[in-house]
Amino acid sequence: MFSVRGAHTRLHPTALVRGFSSKMLADPSQKYRPYKPIQLADRQWPSRVTRSAPHWLATDLRDGNQSLANPMTIPQKTQIFELSLQCGFKEIEVAYPAASDTDFAFVRGLIEKKMVPDDVWLQVLTAAREDLIRRTVDSVAGSKLAVIHMYNATAPTFRDVVFRNTMEETIALAVKQTELVRKLTDECSAKTGTHFRYEYSPECFTQTEPEFAVEVCEAVKKAWGKAGSDYENKIIFNLPATVEVAPPNHYADQVEYFCRNISEREKITISLHPHNDRGAGVAAAELGLLAGGDRVEGCLFGNGERTGNVDLVTLALNLYTQGVAPNLDFSDMQHCIDVVTQCNDLPVHPRHPYAGELVFTAFSGSHQDAIKKGFESQTKRHAAAAAEGKPQYWDMPYLPIDPADIGCNYEAVIRVNSQSGKGGIAYIVKQHMQLDMPRRMQIAFYQVIQDIADREAREMSIEDITTAFRKTYHLGSQHEGRLALRSFKVSTVEGSSADDADAPRRFDGTVTVDGVPRVIRGDGNGPLSALLDALRENLDVDLHIREYTEHSIGQGTSVKAASFVELTDPKADPRDKSKAWWGVGIDSDIAGSGLHAVISAVNASLGDRALPELKLNVGYSTRSGPADVASKVLNGLQLEIPRRMQAAFFEVVQRAARETNNEISADKLVELFRRTYFRAAQKVQLGGFKAEQTSADGRRRLEVELAVEGASKQVVGEGNGPLSALLAGLQSQVDGNIVLREFSEHSIGEGADVQAASYIELQFTSNDGAKRSAWGVAVDEDITASGLKAILSAFNGLDVPLKN
C-alpha cells in the first residue's frame, strides 16, 4: 500500500516481490550513496541532557490514519481523539480535511459537538494549494484554538523529479500559499474568534540541503509576518525525517544546524517528526531534542507510513524512567493498547517497548533469579528510605520501569518454562502464596517443576506452579497426604517444670492414617522432635530434622506462621538427595505450623509403603476400628452414634486404652461413653423451658431456666425452632461464636416406653479466632427436651465461660 497524502493506491499483490531473484550486492556502494555528514565541528547536542518534556503533537488521526489499509471510521476516529485527551495531549492533528468528506465532517463534528476542551489545539494538514487551503481553514472555523499545518516538498529528488521546480519556484510557492493562509486565518479569526497558529513543513527535510531548508523557512516566516515570542504565537517549523535515510546523530546535526542559522529563534517552535525506516525513530527524536527541538510529532505505538512514525509512548516513558515528567499519562496502558489496536486493526508486538505482553517477562533462570533478589533487596531498601523520609528509588535488574506505574501487575514478570531456574519459580511461590522457600527447598521444588515442564513441553502458568506446590507439599484439605494432623496438645513431660524453657516436651495428638484416626504420643526436646518420636513409636517412621526455617505471613491479627522442614533418613548417606524430604506448614499457631510441616515432609517420604495397623482390643478383636466401638455402644446403650461422632469417640477410646496395653472391655467402653457424654457433674443443666410461636413464619421464642453451678439463670432466645432458639440464647451469654455443626436423632424402644436420643456437635470460635468442638448426647421421653439437653451436653464439653 502506497499513500499519497490521503489518497491510497493499491498495488497488485506481486508488485513488491518482482525483481527479487538476485542476491544482495557484494559491494552496495555501487548502488546506494551514503549520507553526507554536516561539518559541525563545535556541535553542542552531545553534551546536553534532557531535563524537561517537549510539547507533544499526536498525529494518529492524520499521519497514522493515512497509513492504514482501511482508514478509520468516524466512530473510530472519535475513540482515538478521546483517548488522546485521556492521555493528556494538548495538541492533536485531527485530519487532512481537504482529502475527503469524511475527514472534513469529522473535524466539523468535533467542533460543533463541543468535544474539544478549551486548552486543546486542533491541528489540520494541507498541501500548498489554494483550494485545499481554503477547505482546510473552513474545517476549523469556530474552534477556539487551531493550527494550520502546510507543507511542500523541498528535497532535490522532489524538486527535480516529482514537481520539476527550481529552488526559487519552491520558495515562491511556499511564500505565496503562506500569505494565503495568513489572509484566510485573519478573516476567520475576525468572524469566528478562532485563534490560529501556523506550522510549515519543508517536506523531506532530512534529504534537503541544510542551507536551503533554512532559506525556505526564513522566507515563510517573513511571509507569515506575525511570529511572536510567546508559545501561542510562535511560528512552528516542522523538520520531518519524512523518510529516515541516515543515523540519528545526523538528524541531530541537521536540527542543530537549523536552530543555529534560522533568525529570530525565540519566535520559533522547532517541531520534530521522525519516521522509523531505519528503526531509529525514537533515538532520532531524543537526539533531535538535545539539538534544539521543542516539540515532537508522532503516534501511539509508532503507527504510520511504512515502518511508522516515532512512538510517543516509548518517548514519553523513556523520559519518565529518567525522572522527567512527560506530562502524558499512560497509567492504564492496556486501555491504550485496546483502543489503538481496535481502531487501527494492527497489533502491538509482544516485544514492543513498555506495551508488549512480554516486555516485563523473564524466562531465563539467571534473569529470574536476579529479579527475585532485586525485589527482596528493594523491599528492604524502600522500607529504610520511607523511615528516613527519602525517595524510594526504583532500581531493579532487567526492569527499567515499575510495571505498576503503567497499570500492569507483577504476574507476568517471571514466567516459567523448561529454561527457567529455581529463582523464578521461588519468586512466583512467594508472590502468589506468600511463602519464601529456603534455598535448598527451592532446588528441590525446581526439580518438580522442571519434570512437569519437560514432560508437557509447555510454559508453566502461575496456577500450574501453585497447584504443583500444594500437591507436592499437601497444602489444603483437597491435597491431604496419607497422614493428616487433626488435633494436638504439647505439654511439658511429667515431673518437669512448666516454666523451664529447656524442659522436655510431650506431643499428644490425633492424626488420620489413610483416613483412620490414630492417637499418638511422643516425647522430645521440643514439639517437632516430640512428634517425630510419636511417629517413630506408633507408625515406625524414623526421620530426623536437617533444616527448619519459618517466617510470618500477613500482619496484625490475621498473621500466620509458615514453617519449612527438611527431614532425612538417619540411616542414609547425607549426600543422597533421594533420602531427604521437604514439608510446609501454615497455621495461626507457630507450633502448629511446624507440626504441619513435619507431617507434610513425612507424607513426601512415605510413598506407598505399608504402615503398622492400630491394634485395639475392645473385647473381641485386636484390630478394632470406629465401627467396632460404635457397635459396642449400640449393644450396651441402644445408641446409634453418627459417623462423625464415631471418629471423635474412637480417639477417646484410644487414649483410655493406651494405659492398658490397648485393651478395653465392652463394659468399660460403655462406661467411658457415659462419662464422656452423659456428664454427671455438668456445669450448665436444663431446668424448665417454655416455647411459643412468635410469628406466622413459624419462628419460636424459647424461655429456659438453667442451673449454672447450682444457681438459677433465665435465658431467652428466638429461632426457627427450639434448638436454634436455645443456641441464640446461649450465644448472648458468651464472648465468641457458637455454631451447630451436626444434629441427628432416633428413637429408642417402642410404644409407651419410646424415648428420643439426640446427638449434637457444637463448634465454638473465640474472639481471637481459636476454635474447638464438642459432642453432646441426651435421651429423654420428650423429643424437644432431648435435643435441648444434647445441646447443653455439648456446651458443657466446650467449657465456655458464661458472662457475669
At 680 the pLDDT is: 62
Question: Is residue 593 domain-shared with residue 535, that is, in the same domain?
Answer: yes
More confident residue, 487 or 116: 116
Q: What would the pLDDT profile of 194-239 be if each residue is shown by its tens digit?
A: 999 999 999 999 999 999 999 999 999 999 999 999 999 999 999 9
Per-residue pLDDT reduced to its tens digit, 700-711: 888 888 888 778
Q: What does the pLDDT read at residue 416?
A: 52
For residues 663 and 693, state if they share a domain.
Answer: no
* In a domain? residue 355: no
CB-based contact 386:392 (threshold 8 Å): yes
Looking at the fold, whether 504 and 637 belong to one and the same domain comes out as: no
Does 50 reside within a domain? no
CATH code of the domain covering residue 87: 3.20.20.70
Q: Confirm whether 353 is domain-assigned.
A: no
Same domain, 217 and 115: yes
Position 379 in a domain: yes
C-alpha 600/C-alpha 581 separation (Å) is: 9
Cα–Cα separations (whole angstroms), residue 132 to 3, 94, 105, 138: 18, 16, 15, 10
- In the prediction, which pLDDT does 499 show? 66
Cα–Cα distance measured from residue 70 to residue 83, given in angstroms and rounded to the nearest whole number: 20
Instruction: Give every CB contact of residue 142 below 8 A, 6+ residues apart in sequence.
Output: 111, 112, 192, 194
Please determine, for residue 1, whether its predicted confidence score (pLDDT) is greater than 70.
no
> Per 3-state DSSP, what percentage of the chain is helix, strand, and coil (rounded to 5)?
40, 25, 35
- Three-state DSSP at 111 gives helix
Q: CA dist 396 to 318, 364, 369, 375, 424, Å? A: 16, 16, 12, 7, 15
In angstroms, the CA 649 to CA 656 distance is 11
306-355 pLDDT, tens per residue? 999 999 999 999 999 999 999 999 999 999 999 999 999 999 998 999 99
Statement to judge: residues 634 and 710 lie in one domain: no
Q: Are residues 323 and 423 in the same domain?
A: no
CB of 151 within 8 A of CB of 129?
Answer: no
Q: What is the DSSP letter of 779?
A: E
Gap between the Cα atoms of 30 and 27, Å rounded: 6
In 3D, which of 319, 308, 253 has the Cα closest to residue 286?
A: 319
Average pLDDT of every residue of the chain: 88
Say what the pLDDT of residue 720 is: 86
Q: What percent of the chain has pLDDT over 70?
A: 92
Residue 5 clears pLDDT 50, i.e. is over it: no
- Region of poorest pLDDT, from 360-369, 389-398, 580-589, 615-624: 615-624
> For the ranges 26-30, 531-535, 644-648, which has the lowest average pLDDT?
644-648
Do residues 196 and 297 both lie within one domain? yes
User: What pLDDT, on a 0 to 100 scale, did the predictor assign at position 4?
Assistant: 40
Distance CA 185, CA 146 (A): 10
pTM for the predicted model, two decimal places: 0.63
Band (623; pLDDT cuts 50, 70, 90): low
Q: Are residues 455 and 596 in the same domain?
A: no
Domain count of the chain? Answer: 5
- Concatenated DSSP letters of 244-306: --S-HHHHHHHHHHHHHHSS-GGGEEEEEEEB-TTS-HHHHHHHHHHTT--EEEEBGGG--ST
Residue 614 falls within a domain, yes or no? no
Where among 473, 488, 519 does a domain terminate? 473
Distance separating alpha carbons of residues 283 and 251, to the nearest angstrom: 10
Higher pLDDT, 528 or 686: 528
Q: Taking residues 726-740, what's their average pLDDT?
A: 90
Q: Assess if residue 659 is contained within a domain.
A: yes
Mean pLDDT computed over 595-603:
96
Per-residue pLDDT at 700: 81
Instruction: Give the pLDDT confidence score for residue 204 in this predicted structure.
Output: 94
Say if CB 371 and CB 362 are below 8 A apart.
Answer: yes
Question: Which pLDDT score is estimated for 601?
Answer: 95
Same domain flag for 63 and 173: yes
User: Are residue 398 and residue 526 in the same domain, yes or no?
Assistant: no
State the pLDDT at residue 6.
43
Q: How confident is the model at residue 615 (pLDDT cuts 50, 70, 90)?
A: low
Cα 315 from Cα 173, distance rounded (Å): 35
How many Cβ atoms are within 10 Å of 540's Cβ, its own excluded?
A: 11
Q: What is the pLDDT of residues 259-294, one digit of tens each?
A: 999 999 999 999 999 999 999 999 999 999 999 999
pLDDT at 74: 94
With respect to residue 621, please indicate whether it lies within any of the assigned structural domains. Answer: no
Question: Does residue 64 belong to any structural domain of this protein?
Answer: yes
- Residue 515: pLDDT over 70: yes
| Host domain of residue 651 | 626-677
Same domain, 588 and 642: no
Q: pLDDT tens-digit profile of 237-259? A: 999 999 999 999 999 999 999 99
Pair 76, 91 in one domain: yes
Find the CATH number of the domain harbouring 776.
3.30.160.270
pLDDT tens for 442-465 read: 889 988 988 888 888 777 788 899
- Whether pLDDT at 557 is above 90: no
Vertex 733 angle, CA 731 and 736, to 5°: 55
Kindly report the number of other CB atoms within 10 A of residue 188's CB atom: 20
| Boundary residue ending a domain (677, 711, 740) | 677
In angstroms, the Cα distances linking 664 to 47, 252, 673 are: 94, 97, 12
The last residue of one of the domains, among 473, 494, 523, is 473
